[in-house]
Amino acid sequence: MVKKLTGAVLAVLAAFALGGIALHRHEPINALWIVTAAVCTYLLGYRIYAAWIAARVLMVDPTRATPAERLNNGRDFVPTHRAIVFGHHFAAIAGPGPLVGPTLAAQFGYLPGTLWILVGAVFGGCVQDMTILLLSTRRDGRSLGQMARDELGPLGGFASLIGTLLIMVILSAVLGLVLVNVMKHSPWATATVIATIPAAIIVGLYLRFWRPGRVLEASVLGFALLALALVGGGWIDQQPALRDLFDYSGVALAGLVCAYAFVAAILPVWILLAPRDYLSTFLKLGTVLLLGVAIVVTHPVLKMPAVTGFVDGTGPLFGGKVFPFVFITIACGAISGFHALIASGTTPKLIGNEADVRLVGYGSMALESFVAIMALIAATLLDPGVFFAINSGAGVVGATPEAAVHTISGWGFPVTVEQMRALASAMGEQTLFARTGGAPSLAVGMASIFGSTFGRGLLALWYHFAIMFEAVFLLATLDAGTRVGRFMLQDLLGHAWAPLGRTSWYPSVIFASVAMVSAWGYFLYVGVIDPNGGVNILWPLFGISNQMLAAIALSIATGIIIKSGRARYALVTLVPLAWLALVTSTAALQKVTSPDVRIGLLAAAGDLAGKLAAGTLPAAKAAVAPQLIFNQRLDAVLTLLFTAILWLIILDMARICVRRLRGLPVPASSEAPYRARGELHAAGAVQ
C-alpha cells in the first residue's frame, strides 16, 4: 500500500515537473524543475519498468547460485553486497562522456537534450546495462565478445572485437583532444595537470611499499597532494618566469599527452595507472555529489532557450540537425555501448544474488544519466552568448574576439568582448574564446554554481578545480583505454604470430602500445590542427561508434531472448535497438553523403581540396589542408565501417532469430546450468 502510494506521488510529481517544463517554454526555467522531473522519472522507471523486465523478461531468479558463489576464488569471483557492487559498477561506468556530450548538445537548447537523456536512459541505456549484466552473470561472467561468438556465431564475435578496438582508438583521441583544449595556453591548468603525475606516483609508492593496499589512507594523502597541485598551479601562474614553462601550444600538448599515455600503458600498473585511478574516482564521485548539492542549493535559472534555432543544423559546435545528431552527441548519458563491456566484465563476477542486477545495472545507469542532466544544467545556466563564445571554434565565428562577438550577437545571443574578458580574468585565464571541447564551458558553469554556493571570491580556484577534476579522469580513461587497446591488439596479433600475443613479452608490449598510441595520436593531432576545433568531427564519430557498440549489445540480448522462446518480450530490447539503428545509420549516411560542408565529410574534403587548388586559402590553412582533407576522407571510411559492422551484427542476429522461429538449429544457449544458492556449501563442492 505504501509502495503504491509513493508510486502515485512520484508519478504526479514527474507529470507536474514535466508539465512545468512544457508550460514554461518561452520564459526562463528554474533548474529545479528539471532535477525534479529527472529524479521522478528514474524512480518510476526503476520501480515499474525495471521490476517488470527483471521478473518477466529476464526471469531473474533469486534462488539461483551466481558465478560469484559457484566459482568463488576470493579474487575476481567474490559474492559481494549489492550496495558495494553498485558503488564499483557506478565508479566504472561514470566517465567524462556524460559531461561532454550534454554540453555540446546544449547548442540545440536544454529541451532536446533533457528529453533524450531521460527517455534514452529509462528505455534504452538502463535496460541495456541491466540485461547484459544478467546475461553475463548467467554465463559465468563472459565478455560481450564471447557472448556474441557463443550465441550468434564467429562472425558476430569477430565484428564486435574489431568494433571495440576501433572505439578505443576514437574514444582515446577525442578524450585527448578535450584534454589538450583544456590545457592549451593555460599555464595554471597545465601545471596542475602535470603535477598530478608525481602526486599519483607518490600515492602508488605508498600503496605498494609503505602501507600496501591501504587505499583510504593513500587517498587522503592523494587529496592533499591534489590540493597542493591546484594551489601550486595558481602560484606558478603568478610568476612571470615560471608561467612560460607551462604555456604550450596544442600540438606540443598533443605530443606530451601521447608520450604520457605510452609510458603509462607499458609501466606496471601500480606505479601510475592504479593510483591515478584511485585519485580520479574519489575526485569524480566527490565532485558529482558536490555539484548535485550545489544545484539544489542555488537552484539556478537556465538562460539558454528551450529550443534554439540551431535545430535546423546550422549550430556552431557541430553541424547537423537535431535529428539525428542530438542522439549521437549525447551518447553516454542516455545509452552507451561501452557500459556493456563493464556489465560483462568485472561486475557480473561480484553479483551475489541475481535480484541485485536491477539495482546494479539499471540503478547505476540511472545515476549516470543524472550526472548528464547536471552537466546539461551547468552548460545551460550560462548566458547563451558566453556559452557559444567559449564553445565555437575560430573557424566558425571568426579568429578575433571582435569578430566572434559580432557573429554570436548576430545570432540573437548578445555577448561583448568586455564581458568575456572580465569572465576570463575572474576564472584566472587569458582568454575563454574558442575553448572548444565542452570541458572549459562546463568548468565555467561549475565554477559559477560552486562560487554562488560556497563564496564567489574563489571563482578562479573553483574553475581550475573543475578543470583538474575533468583532466584527472580524462587522463585516467586515456591510460586505461590505451592499455586495454594494447591487450586487445596483442590478442588479435597473437593469432597471426603467437609471441606477439604474450602480454608480458616486452618487444610485443612496446610494439602494440606504439601502434595503439599512434592510431589515436593521429586523430588527436589532426583534431588539434583543425581550425574548427576538431571536436566537431571527432565527437560525432565517437557517438556513432558508441551507439554501434550499444546496438551490438542489444542485438546479442534480443537474440538470446528470442532463442530462449520468449519472443513476445523481445520488444524490450528490439525497440531501443531499432531506434539506435535508425539514428546511427541516418547520422552516418549524412556524415558521408551530405552536400553541406559542415556535415558531410566528403563534401568538406572536396570543398577544401577545391579551395586549395584554386589558391584561395590563407597560408596557415593551406599548410594543414592536405592533412585535413585526408583525415576527412578517412573519417568517412571509418563511419561506413562502423555502419557496416552495425548491420552485420543486426543481420546475424536476425538470421539466428528467424532460424529459431522456424524451428531450425541455432547455436545452443551458453547459459550455465541451474544450481541452487547455498547448495554448493552444503555439498562441500567448492574448491
Partner 1 sequence: MRRLSGAALAGCLARQAGSAWRWLRAVSGDDAYESYQRHHAARHPGEPLLSRGAYYEQMQRRKWSGVSRCC
Positions that interact with partner 1 (CB under 8 A): 72-76, 78, 80-81, 83-84, 87-88, 91-97, 143, 171, 175, 207-209, 212-216, 219, 268-270, 273-274, 277-278, 282, 331-332, 336, 338-339, 341-342, 345-346, 476-477, 480-481, 483-484, 487, 503, 542, 546, 686-687
Q: Which residue, 169 or 408, has its beta carbon nearer to partner 1?
A: 169
Q: Tell me which amino acid residue 563 is.
A: K
Q: How far is the CB of 216 from partner 1 (least distance, A)?
A: 5
Give dist(CA 18, CA 41) in Å, integer.
9
Q: How far is the CB of 154 from partner 1 (least distance, A)?
A: 21
Q: Which residue, 400 or 503, has its beta carbon nearer to partner 1?
A: 503
Q: Which residue, 74 or 457, has its beta carbon nearer to partner 1?
A: 74
Q: What angle do helix axes 144-151 and 126-137 make, rounded to 10 degrees?
A: 70
How many other C-beta atoms are found inside a 10 Å radius of the C-beta of residue 357?
32
- Residue owning grid cell 530490447: 573
Burial of residue 641 (CB within 10 Å: 0-12, 13-18, 19+) is middle
C-alpha pair distances (Å), 7 with each of 1, 44, 45, 83, 115: 10, 7, 10, 23, 21
Q: How far is the CB of 155 from partner 1 (least distance, A)?
A: 22
Closest of 583, 562, 585, 582 to residue 572, by C-alpha: 562
- Kindly provide the b/e burial profile for residues 95-129, where b requires at least 16 CB atoms within 10 angstroms of the residue's own CB: bbbbbbbbbbbbbbbbbbbbebbbebbbbbbbbbb
Q: Which residue, 480 or 517, has its beta carbon nearer to partner 1?
A: 480
132, 347 contact by CB (below 8 A): no
Q: How far is the CB of 86 from partner 1 (least distance, A)?
A: 9
Q: Which residue, 67 or 300, has its beta carbon nearer to partner 1?
A: 67
Give dist(CA 103, CA 371) in Å, integer.
12
Q: Which residue, 233 or 540, has its beta carbon nearer to partner 1?
A: 540
Q: Which residues pair with 30 in a beta bridge?
A: 301
Q: How far is the CB of 247 from partner 1 (least distance, A)?
A: 29
C-alpha cell at 267: 609501466
Q: How far is the CB of 556 from partner 1 (least distance, A)?
A: 16
Q: Which residues pair with 64 in a beta bridge?
A: 676
Q: How far is the CB of 301 from partner 1 (least distance, A)?
A: 31
Does residue 59 come out as left (phi exceeding 0), alpha (psi in the -120 to 50 range) or beta?
left
Q: How far is the CB of 265 from partner 1 (least distance, A)?
A: 10
Q: How far is the CB of 402 from partner 1 (least distance, A)?
A: 37
Q: Which residue, 36 or 143, has its beta carbon nearer to partner 1?
A: 143
Q: Which residue, 3 or 687, has its beta carbon nearer to partner 1?
A: 687
C-alpha cell at 51: 521490476
Peptide bond into 324 cis (omega under 30): yes
Q: Which residue, 72 or 392, has its beta carbon nearer to partner 1?
A: 72
C-alpha cell at 361: 545495472
Q: How far is the CB of 46 from partner 1 (least distance, A)?
A: 20
Q: Tell me which amino acid residue 621 is.
A: K
Q: Which residue, 222 or 445, has its beta carbon nearer to partner 1?
A: 222
Q: How far is the CB of 80 from partner 1 (least distance, A)?
A: 8
Give dist(CA 593, CA 631) in Å, integer.
16
Give dist(CA 273, CA 267) in Å, integer.
8
C-alpha cell at 32: 529545479
Q: How far is the CB of 64 from partner 1 (least distance, A)?
A: 22
Q: Which residue, 74 or 618, has its beta carbon nearer to partner 1?
A: 74
Q: Which residue, 181 or 448, has its beta carbon nearer to partner 1?
A: 181
C-alpha cell at 544: 556513432
150, 656 contact by CB (below 8 A): no
Helical spans, DSSP H, in 24-109 = 31-44, 51-52, 67-70, 82-93, 97-105
